[in-house]
């Protein structure tokens, strides 16, 4: 079913890769409820909805597209939901905001059933694809460094070296060293085993504890939030949430597409400019977004943390299936998952190392031609500096056709790039991002 021999992998490697991906992204089941609870949504509601959306999206990706890419509610869009839509959009309550997410998800499904998103992937120039891969790598490495305090905020230089004596930094450096040694020695599953060693150290040094116990039954305090699609349309129209729907749609399309390209390229699964089974893959986050909104969570997205599993050897949907099964189990171990995911030093080394591996894509960029190199450079630079994959993609999409036009190569640019350059200009200028 997963064609393991064709992709030169095996069951053990795929399961270890799935565990690695899960451990690097499981923080979302804690962080997402914390953010959305600021919008008034019950913590338990979002916790369960987050897991449901992740299971649905990841299972579709695994079984329908056979990719080692996990789906879960996206960071950034949850903050937009909580603080821009519910927080300041004319007194909109979270039920109406979820209606907007649901409608965006339905439109997403329709677009994914057409050849539109497939054509979009093929239309993206190779140098931009390499820039997206490298930019995501730099971004997740930066996240790993900041989560642990190795890098901290600085009033003048924006960032600076953190306190190397703090427990979090020391633990992260130990984990980084152990994981790097294992990788240099060629140990399969080095990223996963590095997390295990780091977790053990954290437990015996008192940084990791389980004060809230281990097990709790998942539940939905408010039941199904979106049960009637017609009523959801009515909410959007009544509250004039068209711009909100467009924002959710535009950002998630490019966030997910960019991440899929980056992870697929890292795994060696791209066939030239084409992503095989792209339509099936692109449906995963569409369904995840719609179903997640019904239960009470913000839009889903392909997760850049999937690259950690790819680096651990994941190449097929068996990796994703493992992630989905672990999410099912996690639903019954909320306190335990919360304790582990609360120690960023356990998972941060994997993000840093994977980031370094993905940065290798810069060697594929044609640096000798400025009209090709600069848009890619802009993507790489802006992703970590704006903390947004979508913003990096937007700036690259705007810069690329502009530079081609100036150089007299306007006909070489796919018409879709011109269309989205205009849409991105509008989004950056007038919509939240």
Is the Cβ–Cβ distance between 54 and 71 less than 8 Å? yes
Please give the DSSP secondary-structure letter assigned to residue 186.
Answer: T
Bridge partners of 152? 160
CA 113 to chain centre: 22
Q: Do strands 151-154 and 158-161 pair parallel, antiparallel, or not at all (unpaired)?
A: antiparallel
Q: How far apart are CA 383 and CA 120, in angstroms?
A: 20
The pLDDT, as a whole number, for residue 432 is 56
Task: Report CA torsion sign: 295, 322, 60, 257.
Answer: positive
CA distances from 256 to 9, 74, 139, 149, 300 (A): 25, 9, 15, 28, 9
Is the Cβ–Cβ distance between 73 and 50 less than 8 Å? yes
Q: How far apart are CA 82 and CA 38, in angstroms?
A: 6
Please give the DSSP secondary-structure letter assigned to residue 216.
Answer: -
Q: Is residue 2 part of a domain?
A: no
Q: Is residue 5 part of a domain?
A: no
* CB-CB neighbours of 421 under 10 Å: 19
Is the Cβ–Cβ distance between 354 and 311 less than 8 Å? yes
Q: What is the 3-state secondary structure (H, E, C) of 142-155?
A: HHHHHHHCCEEEEC
Q: Is residue 398 part of a domain?
A: yes
Q: Is residue 6 part of a domain?
A: no
**Of 129, 95, 327, residue with least CA distance to 234:** 95
Is the Cβ–Cβ distance between 337 and 30 less than 8 Å? yes
Q: How far apart are CA 83 and CA 86, in angstroms?
A: 6
Q: Is residue 81 part of a domain?
A: yes
Q: How far apart are CA 69 and CA 284, in angstroms?
A: 10
Per-residue pLDDT tens digits of the chain, which is 433 residues long: 899 999 899 999 999 999 999 988 888 888 888 889 889 999 889 999 999 999 999 999 999 999 999 999 987 788 888 877 886 655 788 999 999 999 999 998 998 888 777 677 678 888 998 898 898 889 888 888 988 899 998 888 888 999 999 999 999 999 999 999 998 997 767 888 888 899 899 999 988 888 778 888 888 889 999 999 999 999 999 888 887 888 788 777 777 888 888 899 888 888 877 788 888 888 998 999 999 999 999 999 999 889 889 988 999 999 999 999 999 999 998 777 667 767 888 878 888 988 898 898 899 999 999 999 999 999 999 988 887 777 888 899 999 999 999 999 999 898 988 988 998 888 788 765 5
Reading the block at residue 250, the tokens are 């535009």
CA distances from 106 to 97, 103, 251, 297, 388 (A): 14, 5, 15, 15, 24
Reading the block at residue 44, the tokens are 């338990």
Q: Is residue 164 part of a domain?
A: yes
Q: Is residue 273 part of a domain?
A: yes
pTM tops 0.85:
no
Domain count for the chain, please give it: 1
9 φ/ψ angles, rounded to the nearest 5 degrees: -140, 180
Is the Cβ–Cβ distance between 128 and 264 less than 8 Å? no
**Residue 290: domain span:** 11-430
Q: Is residue 271 part of a domain?
A: yes
Strands (E), 143-265: 151-154, 158-161
């Amino acid at each position: 079913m997963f064609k393991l021999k064709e992709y030169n992998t095996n069951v053990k490697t795929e399961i270890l890769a799935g565990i690695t991906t899960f451990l690097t992204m499981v923080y979302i089941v804690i962080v997402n409820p914390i953010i959305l609870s600021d919008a008034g949504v019950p913590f338990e509601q979002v916790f369960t909805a987050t897991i449901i959306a992740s299971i649905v999206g990841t299972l579709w990706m695994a079984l329908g597209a056979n990719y080692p890419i996990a789906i879960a509610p996206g960071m950034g869009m949850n903050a937009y939901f909580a603080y821009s839509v519910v927080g300041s959009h004319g007194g909109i309550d979270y039920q109406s905001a979820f209606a907007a997410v649901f409608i965006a998800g339905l439109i997403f499904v329709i677009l994914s059933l057409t050849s539109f998103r497939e054509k979009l992937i093929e239309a993206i120039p190779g140098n931009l694809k390499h820039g997206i891969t490298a930019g995501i790598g730099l971004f997740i490495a930066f996240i790993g460094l900041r989560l642990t305090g190795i890098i901290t905020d600085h009033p003048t230089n924006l960032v600076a070296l953190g306190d190397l004596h703090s427990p979090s930094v020391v633990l992260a450096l130990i984990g980084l060293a152990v994981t790097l040694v294992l990788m240099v020695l060629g140990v399969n599953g080095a990223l996963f085993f590095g997390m295990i060693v780091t977790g053990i150290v954290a437990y015996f040094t008192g940084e990791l504890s389980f004060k809230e116990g281990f097990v709790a039954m998942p539940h939905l305090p408010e039941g199904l939030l979106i049960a009637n699609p017609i009523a959801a349309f009515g909410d959007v129209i009544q509250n004039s949430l068209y711009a909100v729907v467009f924002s959710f749609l535009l950002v998630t399309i490019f966030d997910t597409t960019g991440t899929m390209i980056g992870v697929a390229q890292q795994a060696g699964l791209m066939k030239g400019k084409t992503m095989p089974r792209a339509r099936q893959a692109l449906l995963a986050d569409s369904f995840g977004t719609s179903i997640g909104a019904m239960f009470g969570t913000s839009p889903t997205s392909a997760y850049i943390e999937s690259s950690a599993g790819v680096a651990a050897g994941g190449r097929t949907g068996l990796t994703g299936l493992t992630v989905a099964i672990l999410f099912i189990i996690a639903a019954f171990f909320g306190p335990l998952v919360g304790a582990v995911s609360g120690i960023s030093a356990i998972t941060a080394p994997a993000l840093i190392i994977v980031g370094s591996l993905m940065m290798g894509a810069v060697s594929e960029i044609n640096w000798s031609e400025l009209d090709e190199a600069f848009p890619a450079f802009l993507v790489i630079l802006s992703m970590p500096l704006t903390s947004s994959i979508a913003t990096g993609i937007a700036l690259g999409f705007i810069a690329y056709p502009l530079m081609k036009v100036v150089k007299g190569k306007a006909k070489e640019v796919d018409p879709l790039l011109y269309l989205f350059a205009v849409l991105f200009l509008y989004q950056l200028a007038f919509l939240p991002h």
